[in-house]
Chain A
Amino acid sequence: MSSEARLQDTPAAPRWPAPLGWLALLAFVSAQVAGFLISPPDRAMGNLQKIMYVHVPSAWVAMLGFFIVFVASLLYLWRRDLKHDRLAAATAEVSVLFTGLTLALGSIWGRPTWGIWWTWDPRLTSTAIMLLIYVGYLALRSFTEDEERRARWSAAVGVLGFLNVPIVYFSVKWWRTLHQIQTVDDSGAMSGTYAIGLLINSLAFLLLFAWLVGLRTHVAGLERHREARLEEEALLGREAHV
């Protein structure tokens, strides 16, 4: 078989559904505008309450993302299928972005509300540790050349690193903290208007998060596909010289 024919035998790279991105963008813009328009100033926080519409959904999708990393890592260790490794890596990267955003947004809210940009409060500290764990996860991936070993080590960190996520979530209940308790808890204390604003923004963030993870996984697949082709070409080149 000729090298050209063998290259064309390689399965085609998957196509990316572009409309999902436009849908995510539309939902995000609509939710942000709605959040601005529908919620009146809060009695205690005034208009600063609006920051909740970006800070809280960002934290929620980040924690959801780390749960996906945990599940995908377990699946990789069980099945040894690299598509689970790619999903875990893509989700970790997007979730690190949202965690960084959560910390920055919390800091921006904290300055006018608490009078400080940062404090070593249990919620803030455990969130910063969570960020460092997953930055370490991404660093480990970039330092490890061998694909199988990288996937195995990353999966171990993806499983063990998740132990910190419930600590972040429950930190406001377990310890006396400056940070307020969970935004939505069993008491259902939030009033309807704020809850609607938070709900639609959370859904929009979720859609955007899903799109970003899908796109990142897709890019990883394309790049892996390209590497496989280059390896195949190199092999064919060697065969042609023999």
Chain B
Amino acid sequence: MSEWFYIWLAFGLTWSVLGAYSAWLNARRKAADAALRGRNGGVR
């Protein structure tokens, strides 16, 4: 296989893993934020 296959595989994997983890963390932050706001009648 061409060396570019391995290069794109490496960079693609890095971007996908870091992107997916960041998105998951952000979703968790928003959910926790919303739960706190909901419990406190909108007052933070």
Interface of A toward B, CB cutoff 8 Å: 4, 7-8, 10, 12-13, 16, 21, 28, 32, 46-48, 50-51, 54-55, 58, 97, 100-101, 104-105, 108-109, 111-112, 208, 212, 215-216, 218-219, 222-223, 225-226, 229-230, 233
Contact = CB atoms under 8 A, between A and B. Distances in A.
11 contacts: A13-B33, A48-B7, A50-B7, A58-B14, A101-B13, A101-B14, A101-B17, A108-B13, A109-B6, A219-B28, A229-B40
A13 B44 contact: yes
Contacts of A212: 21-22, 25
Contacts, number: 87
B8 to A, nearest CB: 10
Nearest to B17: A101
Contacts of B14: 54, 58, 101, 105
Contact of A108 (B6, B29, B39): B6
Contacts of B35: 226
- 5 smallest A-B Cβ distances: which pairs? A222-B32, A54-B14, A51-B10, A108-B10, A12-B44
A215 B26 CA distance: 8
Interface string B1-44: 10110110111011101100110011011001101100111011
A204 to B, nearest CB: 11
Given A54-B11, A112-B6, A219-B29, 18 more contacts: A8-B41, A10-B40, A16-B29, A21-B22, A48-B3, A48-B6, A51-B6, A51-B7, A97-B18, A100-B17, A104-B13, A105-B13, A108-B13, A219-B25, A222-B33, A225-B32, A226-B36, A230-B39
B3 to A, nearest CB: 5
A112 B3 contact: yes
A46 B28 contact: no
Nearest to A105: B10
A55 to B, nearest CB: 7
